[in-house]
Amino acid sequence: MRLYVEPMDSVVVEVSPDGRLRYEGQSELSEPTLQERRAVIYAARNEIAELTELVEALDASGQISRSSARNPA
């Protein structure tokens, strides 16, 4: 995993099941502060939204290509 967290100017590279994080350049997992946790959640939600848009756009363009290939004008 690699998640850039802009407010912290950090990259999360690992998350444990109990919520501890490892940032790029760190060797150990650590418990995030409340502010860090909020920043990571915000960044993750934004990334999910952007990836969802990407998947929908690619999926839609694939459907257009498939349907136009079956019914050429």
pLDDT digits (tens, 9 = 90+) for 17-67: 999 999 999 999 999 999 999 999 999 999 999 999 999 999 888 776 555
Contact 32, 69 (CB under 8 A): no
Say whether pTM exceeds 0.75. Answer: yes
Contact 21, 40 (CB under 8 A): yes
Q: What share of the chain is helix, strand, coil (3-state, %, to 5)?
A: 55, 20, 25
Report domain extents, the chain: 3-70
